[in-house]
Amino acid sequence: MPATIVVGGFWGDEGKGKIIAYIANSDKPVIIARGGVGPNAGHTVEIEGKKYGVRMIPSGFVYKDAKLLIGAGVLVDPRVFLKEVELLGVADRARVDYRCAIIEEKHIQADRGDEHLSKKIGTTGTGCGPANVDRVKRVARQAKDVPELEPFLTDVPLEINTALDNDQFVLVEGSQGFGLSLYYGTYPYVTSKDTTASSIAADVGIGPTKVDEVIVVFKCFPTRVGSGPFPTEMPQEEAEKLGIVEYGTVTGRRRRIGYWDGKMARYAAMINGATQAALTGIDKLDKECYGVTEWEKLTPKAKEFIEKVEDDIKVPVTLISTGPELHQIIDLRKEKL
């Protein structure tokens, strides 16, 4: 059985949390593994009227039979991790690779106190950049050095590759998005690491030959928090007129909003090696699409837009999200793949 990687195609907050939770519930992976930078991410999962914002635990936690693993490439803030473990009641199945680098209070202070990071770049203030600096300097502590994490330590690549060898399905989730990649994003207005599928695979310790599907998540109206170029950004008043106002999950900052960017989407699909795409927020394009679960019930405006997206990115849009709740989705994977 294959591994599937889910990544973001714009500047993060594309709705990866919802897409991953949906796939987890419908495809029942044995393992859901998190790659990406660290607790700068905030994935939102809404199920049965309850809303969760997770920063460390994989958003697929809603599927109760999966192990929830955090790959060695990810930075772990033990306080955030332990709090989420308790809140979600996942102590029996949440595990951390023993090599994860640790975010300490000094990293958070350095992130928030540094003019360049906090003011110019507009970081999330979660200590990720300074912790990655220490990791590169090879002075960062690792998960195995933290007694509170002892019960949760594991060898993530070994667990994942064993599952794959046994023909079991593994779901790997990225965080942030293409435009925030340290290599390919809008440098210097980026995060402290590459965010594309290849790096996410390396974060959790699977080789490129083991990855079968890469799903890039796009939102109909891209958003960005923090500073940096945003070619298709619209004025705030226009976004308000369209009824699109969003706030960050981690920082509570208002998200900047823009129009669909086909050029960026195509480039993101290319570098990620997308095999399919998920599109969220179609209900923001046309309110009549809210909650729809069948392609036939989408409006002509929505269908035309999705066809244009496919033309831009050159891979099929297989998942169309029509609202924040898990069940508000059109799943075309059987028809299109």
Residue with tokens 């790997």: 172
Catalytic residue among 13, 111, 203, 312: 13
Residues 6+ apart with CB under 8 A from 140: 101, 102, 131, 134
User: Phi and psi dihedrals of 259, rounded to 5?
Assistant: -85, 160
Letters for 199-238 (x = contact with ligand IMP by CB under 6 A, - = none) are --------------------------xx------------
Return the structure tokens found at 310: 């496919």
Residues 6+ apart with CB under 8 A from 329: 22, 293, 319, 320, 321, 322
CA within 13 Å, CB half, 27: 22
Helix%, strand%, coil% for the chain, nearest 5: 40, 20, 40
Q: How far is the CB of 288 from ligand IMP (least distance, A)?
A: 29
Residues that bind Mg ion (CB under 5 A): 13, 42, 249
Catalytic residue among 43, 107, 134, 286: 43
d(CA 280, CA 218): 6
Q: Does 272 bind ligand IMP (CB under 6 A)?
A: no
Q: How far is the CB of 16 from ligand IMP (least distance, A)?
A: 9
Q: Is residue 318 within 8 Å of residue 337, measured between CB atoms? A: yes
Q: Does 71 bind ligand IMP (CB under 6 A)?
A: no
Residues 143-182 close enough to bind ligand IMP by CB under 6 A: 175-176, 180
Which helix (H) or strand (E) segment holds residue 170: the answer is: strand 170-173
Among 46, 97, 134, 286, binds ligand GTP (CB under 6 A): 46
Q: Does 9 bind ligand GTP (CB under 6 A)?
A: no
Whichever of 75 and 164 has its CB closer to ligand GTP, that residue is 75
What is the DSSP-derived secondary structure letter of residue 295? G
Q: Is residue 43 among the annotated active site residues?
A: yes
Q: How far is the CB of 187 from ligand IMP (least distance, A)?
A: 11
- 3-state DSSP call for residue 228? coil
Whichever of 58 and 163 has its CB closer to ligand GTP, that residue is 58
What residue ranges bind ligand IMP (CB under 6 A)?
A: 11-13, 37, 40-42, 121-124, 126, 128-129, 175-176, 180, 189, 191-192, 225-226
Residues designated catalytic: 13, 43
What residue ranges bind ligand GTP (CB under 6 A)?
A: 8, 12-18, 41-44, 46, 175-177, 249, 280-281, 283-284, 321-324
